[in-house]
Amino acid sequence: MQKHIIKTGQVFGRWSVIKEVEPKRFVTSNRTQIKRCFLCRCLCDSATERAVVLYDLLNGKSISCGCIGNEKTTLRNTTHGMSNTTLYYAWKGMIQRCENPKSREYRWYGAIGITVCSRWRKSPQAFFDDMGPSWKPGLTLDRICGEEGYRKQNCRWITIELQQRNRKDNRRVLCNREPMIMTEAAEYIGIGVHVLKYWLNKGCGITSINGNIIKDQSKLKEKI
Ligand SMILES: [Zn+2]
């Protein structure tokens, strides 16, 4: 039988391989099987380490320390039906944007003081209770006032098209490397927003007479 080559750091589901360990012996009434085992660490917060049979890694029978199963159960038990997953991801995305500096979107949220209210932060269930009833498929979470954080009074569900339109008017720019929305940047350097928009549409950035540099974030994605 061909021997599988498994490298340290290779990932199966949430398992990350550390090293090969003693094979496990499985004895049934008519035969004994020896199965290769790998010490793996789960990529969840618990960082559980366990020896996992190679075959279970390869065929997807073992994908985590049990955390994935637990998360699904929590979801099933907290609300009902198919909407759970979407609501859960909306909740998770919101927490990530506001609290995880490694999140791609953090600079537009957490870094500029957009927070999640403590009620929602503590519990996805509280978020489901507040926002679940008004949710419909195809809608996305939106803050009514862009300067304020995530809480029931400032949140609603809107269509993705509407959100994109709002975002276009509130285009994100870097003003001297500081994240701002276009209207703020225009005010900051003292020109009309339509003028700034015109120049940003022409290229990826402008330098104002007093030396402020404004760049269109959407055109810089690869560089930062
Ligand atoms: Zn885990």
Distance 165 CA to ligand 1 centre (A): 39
Is residue 157 a part of any domain in this protein?
yes
Distance 89 CA to ligand 1 centre (A): 18
Q: Tell me the per-residue pLDDT of 187-219, one tens digit each, with 9 for 90 and over.
A: 788 877 778 888 888 776 778 777 888 888 766
Q: Do 55 and 21 share a domain, yes or no?
A: yes
Distance 80 CA to ligand 1 centre (A): 24
pLDDT of amino acid 73 = 67
- The structural domain count of the chain equals 3
Q: Which domain holds residue 41?
A: 11-65
Q: Do 142 and 86 share a domain, yes or no?
A: yes
Residue 156: left (phi > 0), alpha (psi -120 to 50), or beta?
A: beta
Is residue 71 a part of any domain in this protein?
no
Q: Do 109 and 176 share a domain, yes or no?
A: no
Distance 132 CA to ligand 1 centre (A): 27
φ, ψ at 212 (rounded to 5°): -80, 135
Q: Do 97 and 145 share a domain, yes or no?
A: yes
Distance 197 CA to ligand 1 centre (A): 47
Distance 26 CA to ligand 1 centre (A): 25
Better-predicted residue by pLDDT, 213 or 155 = 155
Q: Tell me the per-residue pLDDT of 38-63, one tens digit each, with 9 for 90 and over.
A: 999 998 878 899 999 999 998 888 98
Q: Do 122 and 179 share a domain, yes or no?
A: no
DSSP character string of 89-130: HHHHHHHHHHH-TTSTTGGGTGGGT--B-HHHHH-HHHHHHH
CA angle 161, 165, 170 (to 5 degrees): 145
